[in-house]
Amino acid sequence: MRGVKRVALVLIVLLVALGVVAFVLESRQKIALSFLGWSSIEMPVAVIVVLSLIGGLAFGPLLAWAFKRR
């Protein structure tokens, strides 16, 4: 049973990785973000989305940890 779970996990991770690679290859159009007068340099859409994802994945646990400490 443990081996089946491991194989399923590997397959899920591979499917997610394949989806990310497909998204990156398809989202190469360059855009610049602007927010409150601040503008970023032009970057591909995939870079902005991946950086936002990484930021959220880092900020979420830090926020949860800070509230748990209180």
Residue 15, pLDDT > 90, answer yes
> Model confidence over 23-58: pLDDT tens digits?
888 878 898 989 898 888 998 888 888 888 889 889
Domain that holds residue 43: 2-69
For the chain, the domain total comes to 1
Residue 1, pLDDT > 80, answer no
DSSP structure string for 4-66:
HHHHHHHHHHHHHHHHHHHHHHH---EE--EETTEEPPPEEHHHHHHHHHHHHHHHHHHHHHH
Q: How far is CA 20 from CA 14, 27, 45, 61, in A?
A: 10, 10, 13, 22
Residue 11 pLDDT: 93
Q: Facing residues of 35 across strands?
A: 38
CA–CA dist 69, 8 (Å, integer): 35
pTM score of the predicted model: 0.59
